[in-house]
Structure formats: structure tokens, C-alpha cells
Structure 1
Amino acid sequence: MTILHISNKSNFTKEEALKLFQPYTEEKDFHYFKSLSKAKDFLTNNLIEKEKHLDFIISDWKFNNDNSKTILNWIRNSLENYSSSNFQLKSIPFLLVEDRENQSANISDGFDAVIENFPNNFVNLKHNITSSIKKWRTSLADDLELIGLDPKTKTNYSIHRKSFISYYKLKVLSKTFVEKKSNSLNYIWSDFDYNNLVNSNELFEKKMKETLRKPTKYLEKEFHEFLCDNPTFVKGENFNKLLYEKHLYINNTRRYNEPDFINKPYEYSIRYPEIFEVKRQSQRLFWKNKDQLLSKAKKGFEQVVRYKKYMESKNEANEFYIKKYLGKVYNEYEYTLLMGSSEEKRYNENLVEELKNDFNFSEVSLVTYEDLLNKHIRLCDRLNEFNIF
């Protein structure tokens, strides 16, 4: 899920906030601001101008001489759409963090929920997030029924849908969604096979244990095949197309780069295409008792950096192949290296970041196999918890 959190707590860091919201989001999907003006700029630039998606907003109340009611009113009175023009901006769930010193009884009007004793009462936080998202999705389901569309069946519209004029009855769906004759919602929470996703978690964990016990020559390829068969491990909920071993030819020669995966985002996602490279789970990062990256671990980072230089080269010959696979050249890209164990990464977290900076690997995200599994488990838990469709 993509979240906007607006905090007035000076000593409350993004890392601390992310720990609270980790059941609902991932680091790159968590947007954190300390001022209302910056948060409004974020909403304007991304949701209104670029029609990106956001699942909910949660904000403190008081900010110097202003309060979050100003953004709430701006949103609730908006006529704009967001998320590829599928939804009305005024419908977006907006949660308020309780402020006993400055809030009166009528302040909560217009907010979808009030979070008591934040951040200490996680049960209350979870309850209000769940109820707010379910309320929004229930309203969306009602809208779909009103216009005669089942997003899962993807069938033709009924006769009354073609002549639909009761736009004022729509609570979440936009008039644009109805008029462009959309016949499906391409969000993972509107069309997924929960049992298959849950079963894939068990298969991945089993495969991890087996390959650590009996590593094979073709270990990386085995995980390639698994990820091709179970693409949500890489795609998550923000990416819609997983490209496998595409040849990125260099300067129109026969030489090419071949990243394991290229992950293409949905148009409504606030994300960029991701280069995703797979290395062994058993690959250690450091020499024993030495503060140095092992040569094979370093080569893994260097390989991703080579892909980075290609993707950002501004070379027309290289851009031809980027357009061929992604449809266009993007302003930014994301880079992920799947390698190693969480235990070694966790005990050397500061050293990992220090060495990444020393070798100019800072833009490469190091994800371990346990990290990837836990991320997918969280995704499955969210789909189960918020399921309406």
C-alpha cells in the first residue's frame, strides 16, 4: 500500500514511523513529511498532476499556526481525480492522529477515523486503518454495482451501464472511469488468487531450505524459474509486468547487458522501473573477521551498477531498447540486488551502508531472500485483511 504520513513530532524519524506502518507498506511506498505545505505539494504533483495512486493519508493535527483540516477541506472539496483518473480525490481515506490538547469535538468531522494514543496504541491504529480502507473499498464495490460492472468477470457492460447518467451517486469512482468504458480494475486487491499467493510463500521457504542444504550448480536459475512462475514476489502491488532476461544491446553492437528481471510499474504507481538481479542465497557478504566485501558479493553490486549506467546513459542507441521493453524512457529507475542472508545483513547493517557508499553502490538496494519472503507474506496478509471483492 502507498501511504502519506504527515507528522508534527520533531524527534519522530521516518524510520521509526515506517516500523509502525510496516504491516501496510514498504519503504519505497511510504511518504513522510513534517509540514502541511510539503504534503500538499506531494499530493498536487503526484495525485493531481500525474494521477498516481495513494491508499490513505494519516496526519497529526497542529502544525505551527495551521492544522490538517486545511488539507482535509482542500481534498474533500476537490473535483480532481487520481489513480489513472479512476477515483475521485475527495474520497481518499484520511485519518487523524488524536491531539487532546488542541482538538475539540467537531474537529474530527470529515476525517475517516481518529487514532487515539498514537503511536503507543497499535491495536487502535490497526483497527482504524482496517475499517477506513474497508469502508472505502465497500463504497467502491457499491459504485461498481451501480454502474453494472464486476471487475473480476471483465464482461461487457450491461445496457443500463451504457446510458449511465447518475454520476452524482458515485462515491469513489470517477466520471472518467465510467466514460472511458473501463471493464476492470488493475489493482492486485481487486483481482487475485489468495490461496495461490499464500501457497507460494510455503514453496519459496521450502526452496530456500532445500538449496541451503543441497546447493546445486544451477541454483540461481532455479530461483529464476520460481520467480517467473510466482511473479508477485518481485512485482508486489505496484508493478504490472515482469520482463525476464531481456537483451539490452550496447551501442548497436552484438554485446548486451542482460539483467535477470526488469519490473515495469503501473501507470498509477509512484514508482519507477526496477532492475532486479538475482544472486545466491548462500552468498556471504564479508570476509570472516574483516570489514571488506567478498569479491563475489562486490561483483554482484558492480553488475547492477553496470545496468544502472546503461539505463541512465542518455545514449539514443541504448534508449531504443529501453523503449522497446518499457514503452518509454523514464526519468529514474530502481535497482535491487537479491543476495545473501538476513542474519549477516542485520548484524552488519551499518557496515553494509558504509561500504556501499565507499564503492558507489548506494543506489542499489540489497534485499536478502528472507527479506523478499517476508515482504510477500506482508502483501498476502494485507490482501486477506482488506479483502472486499
Structure 2
Amino acid sequence: MTVLGTGDPNYKKSQQRLITIPLHHASSGPSLPNTTVLNLNANRAHAIAVSMLPTPTRVIVKTLLKTLLQILCKLWRWASSFLVLICLAAWFYGGFLPYFLTVMGFLSLGYNMSDYLLYQPDFPPESRIFVASPDQFGMPFEEIWIHTKDRVKLHAYLIKQQVPNGRSIPVMIFFHGNAGNIGSRLENASMIYKDIRCHILLLEYRGYGHSDGTASENGLYMDAQAAFEFIDAREDLDSKKIFLFGRSLGGAVVIDLASRCDFRDRVAAIIVENTFSNIPSIARHLFPIRAVRWLPKFCYKNKFDSYNKISSVVSPCLFICGTEDEMIPESMMTELYNKCSSSMKRLIRFAGGHNDTWLCDKSYPSKISEFISEALDADRRPSFHNYSDNVV
């Protein structure tokens, strides 16, 4: 483990990915619905098409085809109507118009396809139905509902330390990754509750778990703001001791909140773990094909541009990096650390993967506890000077 000077239970490596493609298997029976038949035929077709490709290319093409077919199955009426429109344009007008409509159709499909790739609230399939409770881990909690400024109702668990003076305990707002729900992070929350000894707010994004709405980049930002304001308004909690923790996609949400003028001086500190610099960069890393590499940034519906936002963060920052992360390259966490403007920042490396870094080293909770103590004692006047990296 390396420390550089001036942070879900999670799924196992095979269960959650930053970009996870849930497969819908057709069930057998005497009578199949139309969408099931479409899935069966489509699966046979793309399996034959990709079987002749080299292994690395085959994996990429197979993933893209499955995603495309999933979207077409959901939007088959729209896709059929658009195909008819193209045929009519070609019949009556010919020339450039059909080609233009075809290109625009594929661009529109790709633009909206990013939501299906990035947000996975239905993985595993029961995630929108069943959300585990903190009492299964022996943690006292309040089940709360938070309303955002655009009137979306969010589900959350507030897990509080049972001490006489609750205001003396720091509060950690936990922002999870792109799949599952807050119940999937309870094992991780139990470790934080018992070993780090802080209050925890487990927030469910819109469109996830029992929360209303549909996930989007701006929507997740508004969810984070509503969660912070909720904690800030609680008289039984100290508004000067609010810590933000984000893993993977949650790290991008944390960085956005801590970089905003209305919040950055109110955040005690942030902890980000295994997060990415921005969506275009991680897309090029995960899909190393020419079409993705040449795709301009304005073609991405979701950007989560943490790389350009981190320079506006002045709160103490702890960057936790899993050196064996199979999704996020270690270099992205280093880039965020180097560009961070905070006068107090730490980069800690553990030999862990994307979702199990918190399980790979016994010193994990103690390192976070030490950082929290230092951050509460630090003089956090905004500073934009450069600091050297000293190996501890």
C-alpha cells in the first residue's frame, strides 16, 4: 500500500461493472410473446456474426450488439416507423435525404444508448423490487424520503451512531456505483459504522431501488444536492461535519457537488474511490475501437467531467485507488489527484479490484478514520497552490 501526501456492500467482481450489460433470456414454453421471439432470433443472428472475429474484437462487438438489440427490442415500434420513413423518403425523393435520415437515426440511437450502458438500476434483476434493510446487519436506522428541487422522491437510509451527543459524530453521505441499490452496500456500510464510527446516509439515486424518477446526469447531481441539504437541515447532526463518499460513478457525483460554489465551502471533506476522469475517457478505455476513439465529446449524452471539476474542489480530499481495478485505470485516479486544488489531499493505493478495494486491506478503515480526524482539524481556507507529492 502506497500513501502520497499534500472513499458499496458491493457486488463481487463478476456482478457489477461500471458498464454492465444485463441479458434478458427468453423463457421456453408453448406460446412465446413477440418480444421473446425477437430476442431469440436476434441472439442466434449476432452469435453467428461475431463467432468469426478475433477474441478481443469479438467481446467488444458482442457487447455492443447485445446492447443495440436490447434497445431495439424496447423501441421496436419507433425503429419500425423510422425504417418506413427512410423507405418512403428513398421512394419519393431519392438522393441525399435517405442517407441523412439514416445517419441521424443511428446518431440519435447511439446518443440515447449511453443511458442503457451507464445506468444499471435493474442489475441484478430484483434491484428495483427488493432493498435490504440495515437491521439485517444490526444497525439502527431511519428510513427516510428526500424530495429534490424537481420534485422527485428519493429513498434513503440514515444510520446513526447511538451516542448521547450525536452532533459530535461526523456524517458520511454515501454515493454508490452505477448498478444495484443501497441495500447492496449495507455490508460496506456496516464496516464504516463499526470501524470508522460515523453516521451514514445511504442515498438511492432517482430510478434506482425504491426511488422515483429516471436516472440522468443532471438528475444525479440534483439528488446529491438534496441529500446534502437534508443533512444540513437536521438539528441532531452537525452541518460542519458532512463528509462525502463516492465509489465509481458515485465519485463523479461527489466531485460535482464539492466543486459547486453553493456547496464547496460547506463540505468537510470528500472521499472518492475508483472513479473515472470523465465518461468519454473511460469509454475509450473500455471500448478501444476506432469509432469510439474518434467520437467527439459533444456526442456523449453523459459526460461526468470530474477532470475539469476537481480543480474547483478546495475541501480536503482522499483518493482511494485499487491497483487491480479491472474497470478504471489507476492513471485516472492519479490524474484527479494531481489536478485537485485542495491544500490537503491524499492518494492511497490498495491492492484491490473495482468493487472489493475496501475488503483487501485491514488498514482500509483506519486510513479513512485518520483522514477524517485530520480533515476536521485542518484549516481549510481555499488555496489553489501546487503541492509536492511526498511519499509517506
TM range (shorter): under 0.3
State the TM-score, normalized to the length of structure 1.
Answer: 0.23
> Larger RCO: Structure 1 or Structure 2 (Cα < 8 Å, ≥ 6 residues apart)?
2
